[in-house]
Amino acid sequence: MSDNKQRVRRLQREPLTDAQMLMIISIGIFAAMYLAAMFTLKGGFLKPQMIFDLLNDNAALIIIACSLTVVMIGGGINISVGGVIGLTVMSCALFLNGTTIESSFTSIALTFLLALGIGLAFGLVEGFLVSYLEIQPFIVTLAGMFLARGLTTILSVNPVKVTHEAFLALVKTKLKISWLGYTAQNGNLIPAKIEIGAIIAVLVVILMALMLRYSKLGRHIYAVGGNQQSALMLGINVKSTIFWSYVISGLLAGLAGFVFLMHKPAGNASVAMRGEMDAIASSIIGGTLLTGGVGNVIGTFFGAMILATIQKIIALSPLNASWWQEMANGAMLGFFIILQSVVLSARSKGRIKLRNKQRKPAAEESPTQVK
């Protein structure tokens, strides 16, 4: 019995990892921003529907941010995800408009598989070039971005609106939550509504968090991102790990394209034009380091929500010009980069020693994470 007590006390003395520390900071800043908006702007921020609107409008961003987080934890980068979303949206829109399949379920299912297939194809090729041919990931994914955008333009220069009735019905389908609604001025109860795409995005966050935390592949991704030489000494297949991280990233990019189409049923050459930049920013704000080995998708989720909240605040304020959005995103990204440097430096000098009740797996405690 005494041994169990000593073990519990030892676990309670374990400090938070860098990823957990940065995630907590992101959650705190998101909560502070949202509360500040509730007391200053009021209006929609006082209603639960605002949270659902942020999720509905940014479901695709959350998914590709998760895809970037997986790759960045492994020490890589993928800037082709925005182009893959654009290609996926255009391809799926043209397929839905041109299909002659009578079964609505079959046509939508094939569209979903088409979206995943496009993402998988990019993930497989880019993963092979980066891992087995050891080409720089920035160059490989930059080429992938140009290829995807070029293929999108070849498919159609003009915007393509989806006319498939069954898919449009799916787009309009929303989960209604009456007890989180509000009463309008005419006395009618307006329930809170969340789109299917937002539900998919939340499920992706949960699944990726579980994969990175508990699966063998997830622990290997942390180890490889922390230090490839140490990972090799531990018997980890570094090339295979990097390859599968890009495959997962590609699949999530294809899924994000399908979710984007469910929110805005139209293909356009400019779809998600800067999606990769917003995804990288969400990951960094959520606590993922570009050097690899540190990060988690829960923090990435709140990083995306921070960017979404900034966008909504600016839209509801007098400073609603587009350049204010760009400036705010840049300022927030710079702030978090500086904050990460300060926090990690303080932890390396022993000035910050927060305790954690549970110990993380050894593979997640990479050699780059200073205690």
- The average pLDDT across 235-256 equals 96
pLDDT band at 77; cut points 50, 70, 90: very high
365 is a domain residue: no
Tell me the one-letter amino acid at 203. L
356 is a domain residue: no
**Cα–Cα separations (whole angstroms), residue 339 to 345, 346, 368:** 10, 10, 17
Q: What 3-state class would DSSP assign to 158? A: coil
**Cα–Cα separations (whole angstroms), residue 213 to 83, 250, 297, 312, 348:** 29, 20, 10, 32, 24
217 is a domain residue: yes
194 is a domain residue: yes
Tell me the one-letter amino acid at 23. M
2 is a domain residue: no
pLDDT the model gives residue 6:
57
- The average pLDDT across 1-18 equals 58
Q: Which residues are CB-neighbours of 288 under 8 A, at least 6 positions away?
A: 19, 68, 69, 72, 73, 294, 295, 296, 299, 300
331 is a domain residue: yes
pLDDT the model gives residue 347:
64
pLDDT the model gives residue 109:
95
pLDDT the model gives residue 369:
42
Average pLDDT over the chain, rounded to an integer = 85
Is it the case that residue 236 has pLDDT exceeding 60? yes
Supply the range of the domain harboring residue 200.
Answer: 14-348
Is it the case that residue 356 has pLDDT exceeding 60? no
Could you list the beta-strand ranges (E) of the chain.
Answer: 160-161, 174-183, 189-195, 266-267
Q: What is the pLDDT of residues 110-154, one digit of tens each?
A: 999 999 999 999 999 999 999 999 999 999 999 999 999 999 999
57 is a domain residue: yes
Distance between start and end Cα atoms, the chain? 30
* Domains contained in the chain, number: 1
Cβ atoms of 331 and 306 within 8 Å: the answer is no
How far apart CA 363 and CA 302 sit, in angstroms, is: 24
pTM of structure: 0.87
Instruction: Supply the CATH number for residue 215's domain.
Output: 1.10.3470
Q: What is the pLDDT of residues 148-187, one digit of tens each?
A: 999 999 998 888 999 999 999 999 999 888 777 776 666 6
pLDDT the model gives residue 364:
42
How far apart CA 292 and CA 245 sit, in angstroms, is: 13
**Assigned token pair, 32:** 């502070």
Choose among 347, 314, 279, 256: nearest CA to 77: 279
362 is a domain residue: no
**Assigned token pair, 237:** 């297949």
